[in-house]
Chains A and B, each alone.
Chain A
Amino acid sequence: MSEKDKAITQLTFDEVLQILNLIEKLDYDFLQLEAGDFKLSIGKRGFHIDDDGGPQTGTVAPAASSRQQVRATTSAARTTVQQPRAETKAPAVKEGTVPIVAPMVGTFYTAPEPGAPPFIKAGDSVDANTTVGLIEVMKVFNAVSSKATGVILEICVQNGQFVEYGQTLFLVKPETN
């Protein structure tokens, strides 16, 4: 191995951490770095990294996928750095669906007020800005928007249920063009 190659293929754990730290501070959800046959892919918030290093959004349980995953591959040395998977509290995400997850911890409400019809039902179409429910935190109600475009396949939580940060609330079948 030449000195030149060494610079990138022998990326130390510390250096990977520095990159991790950087992406944590930035708004990007996915970073891919390629130099020769060295490949580094980092994803967060719902991005699963497949073996080709590309992000995939609908094939992994959200509780686990919302964690950071790092995979660094070189021809000389193969290092896999992956945090242990989170205990999956949400139902397994079905093939071809995307989850709508709780953006905060609190009490989830499906309707704007008791007795009122729910914001959405299974089969309803949603787009990124559709309000799908409310989360109450210390008497403050926060609207939860879909973030996904498609059709609601499954409602995973009940009205008045306590939800954790990152918990799956709905499964959406994404719109295909």
Chain B
Amino acid sequence: MSIARVLVANRGEIALRVIKACRELGIESVIAVSEADRESLPARTADRAVCIGPPRSSESYLKVEAIIAAALGTKSDAVHPGYGFLAEKPELAEACEKHGVKFIGPKPDSIRQMGNKLAARALVSEYRIPVVPGSPNVGSLKEGFALAESIGFPVLLKAAAGGGGRGIKIVTEASELQRAFEMATAEAKAAFGDATLYIERYLPNARHIEVQILGDQSGNVIHVGERDCSLQRRYQKVVEEALAYSIPEQVRKKIRTAAVTAAKNIRYENAGTIEFILDQESGKFYFLEMNTRIQVEHPVTEMITGVDLVQEQISIANGQRLSYKQSDIRFSGHAIECRITAESPRDGFRPSPGVITEWHPPEGEGIRVDSHCFEGYFVPPFYDSLLAKLITHGADRHEAMKRMGEALESFRVNGIATTIPFLGFLLHQQDYISGKVNTRWVERKLEQFVP
């Protein structure tokens, strides 16, 4: 049976993005909203909105039963989880399977395999994909000392159940290990319900490079190029680009091949992203983790390839073969995305919810804005602070940067504080322009930012 109606189990810009993809495919969309989002743009844009619970995510967007009840009650054929919330919880994918609703994403087993970072490392190692030198799970503090010494300080202490930059501690010397170990154990247990930790070598001068993958139910897997997401603040991506810039072609090729190898071997289905870290000192790259969902930064890939990744996700879930062969994927120009959030850069990035009194996104050639905001919209304090993704495309990186600079300049938002001024500051830095960045660069630049 083919998909005629999709339940969108998310909110904000990604919900709107999925609704638009449905519309273009001639598929009806139903959005599951919390009480706080009844009047949101996605709720108004979808063919139907269904309230599934109160504002608190744990009572609405994170409730598998409510999503399933909404899908069945509205006779939806499939559920799109977006990113965040339940997207990487195997429980939703499993519940969908059990109730005869298609899950627009990978099989529950793939989500589970990649959800545990330690297990994922072990798995990809079997396919001869390099992983960051590190340990198996750290059973005790004593074991931690021995492992850290053998790997060599500085090290990263990571939660096996973590991901997306959460549950990570840097330990620069042995004397810090005890405290970090105790804190990380407690945090991992509280945040993920699993206190398992492992240790990785810390690479201070590294780039974050990730490969977009598509796989269908017949076992075909292609890559749609890679993205550079080295600009991060507190392990959260701030600026993303496609393709990766100023890296050796040989490395680019090897990273793509490694990603496809991993996805093929685990028989990965739907859209996914394999993240790598490239050590700029040694030129070596290592597997970091796999995200089994659509990513926030997927538009940069779409801009340079013309592939609609969300439409492709839906058609894969529908049992169709990939619309592209590897040789059909061509890259044209360069794209950059800036994540604009409701945070105040002049107040230590304090969250800034409230009513948007002015909203004038930029328009023009090579500019795309993915956003659920509008003038008069109340940014609720209950959720993620992402307001908009500003994406620019140019014939080359220089043109994309120039367009981004102008677009940021003309983006008018009032009523709430946003990160637009900070993004403008980053984009004007000589290091950024010449591509001399690493995953620590934004944090270092932070001190020089004068609002």
Q: Bound pair: A and B?
A: yes
* Cβ of B106 to closest chain A Cβ, rounded Å: 22
Residues on B with C-beta less than 8 A from A58 are none
Cβ-neighbour of B55 out of A24, A87, A137, A138 (below 8 A): A24
Tell me the residues in window 50-71 of chain A with beta carbons closer than 8 Å to chain B beta carbons: 63, 66-67
Residues B381 and A105 in contact, CB atoms below 8 Å apart: no
Asked whether any CB of chain B lies closer than 8 Å to the CB of A84, the reply is yes
Mark contacts of A11-31 with chain B using CB atoms, 8 A cut-off: 1 yes-contact digit, 0 otherwise. Answer: 001100100110010000000
Residues on B with C-beta less than 8 A from A104 are 53, 66, 69
Asked whether any CB of chain A lies closer than 8 Å to the CB of B352, the reply is yes
Residues A66 and B35 in contact, CB atoms below 8 Å apart: yes
Residues on A with C-beta less than 8 A from B149 are none
* Cβ of A164 to closest chain B Cβ, rounded Å: 4
Mark contacts of A124-165 with chain B using CB atoms, 8 A cut-off: 1 yes-contact digit, 0 otherwise. Answer: 000000000000011010000000000000000000001111
Mark contacts of A71-108 with chain B using CB atoms, 8 A cut-off: 1 yes-contact digit, 0 otherwise. Answer: 00000000001011111000000000000000011110
Q: A105-B53, A165-B52 are in contact. Are A137 and B35 (CB under 8 A)?
A: no
Asked whether any CB of chain B lies closer than 8 Å to the CB of A174, the reply is no
Q: A24-B56, A164-B51, A164-B52 are in contact. Are A107 and B38 (CB under 8 A)?
A: no
Q: Find the A residue at minimum CB distance from B54.
A: A165
Cβ-neighbour of A138 out of B50, B65, B352, B378 (below 8 A): B65
How far apart sit A105 and B70, CA to CA, in the bound complex (Å)?
7
Asked whether any CB of chain A lies closer than 8 Å to the CB of B27, the reply is no
Residues on B with C-beta less than 8 A from A107 are 69, 72-73
Asked whether any CB of chain B lies closer than 8 Å to the CB of A166, the reply is yes
Tell me the residues in window 159-177 of chain A with beta carbons closer than 8 Å to chain B beta carbons: 162-167
How far apart sit A21 and B354, CA to CA, in the bound complex (Å)?
12
* Cβ of B432 to closest chain A Cβ, rounded Å: 31
Q: A86-B38, A106-B69, A138-B95 are in contact. Are A17 and B353 (CB under 8 A)?
A: yes
Residues B65 and A140 in contact, CB atoms below 8 Å apart: yes
How far apart sit A101 and B35, CA to CA, in the bound complex (Å)?
13
Residues A137 and B69 in contact, CB atoms below 8 Å apart: yes
Tell me the residues in window 78-121 of chain B with beta carbons closer than 8 Å to chain A beta carbons: 95, 99
Asked whether any CB of chain A lies closer than 8 Å to the CB of B68, the reply is yes
Residues on B with C-beta less than 8 A from A166 are 35, 51
Mark contacts of B11-40 with chain A using CB atoms, 8 A cut-off: 1 yes-contact digit, 0 otherwise. Answer: 000000000000000000000100110110
Cβ-neighbour of A105 out of B38, B51, B352, B378 (below 8 A): B51
Residues B355 and A81 in contact, CB atoms below 8 Å apart: yes
Residues on A with C-beta less than 8 A from B378 are 83
* Cβ of A7 to closest chain B Cβ, rounded Å: 20
Tell me the residues in window 351-371 of chain B with beta carbons closer than 8 Å to chain A beta carbons: 352-355
Residues on A with C-beta less than 8 A from B353 are 17
Residues B68 and A84 in contact, CB atoms below 8 Å apart: no
Residues B51 and A13 in contact, CB atoms below 8 Å apart: no
Instruction: With a 10 A CB-CB cut-off, give which of A83, A138, A166 has the most chain B CB atoms.
Output: A138
Asked whether any CB of chain A lies closer than 8 Å to the CB of B74, the reply is yes
Q: Find the B residue at minimum CB distance from A21.
A: B381
* Cβ of A41 to closest chain B Cβ, rounded Å: 18
Residues on A with C-beta less than 8 A from B382 are 24
Residues A137 and B381 in contact, CB atoms below 8 Å apart: no
Residues A86 and B50 in contact, CB atoms below 8 Å apart: no
A-B contacts, 13 of them at CB < 8 A, read A17-B353, A66-B35, A67-B36, A84-B39, A85-B39, A86-B38, A104-B53, A105-B53, A105-B73, A107-B69, A107-B73, A137-B66, A140-B65
**Other than the known A105-B53, A137-B69, what 10 A-B pairs have Cβ atoms closer than 8 Å?**
A17-B354, A81-B355, A85-B39, A87-B39, A105-B66, A105-B70, A106-B73, A107-B72, A137-B66, A163-B73
Chain B residues proximal to chain A, CB less than 8 Å: 32, 35-36, 38-39, 50-56, 60, 65-66, 68-70, 72-74, 95, 99, 352-355, 376, 378, 381-382
Of all A-B residue pairs in the complex, the 8 with the closest CB atoms, nearest first, are: A162-B73, A164-B51, A106-B69, A86-B38, A84-B39, A137-B69, A105-B52, A165-B51
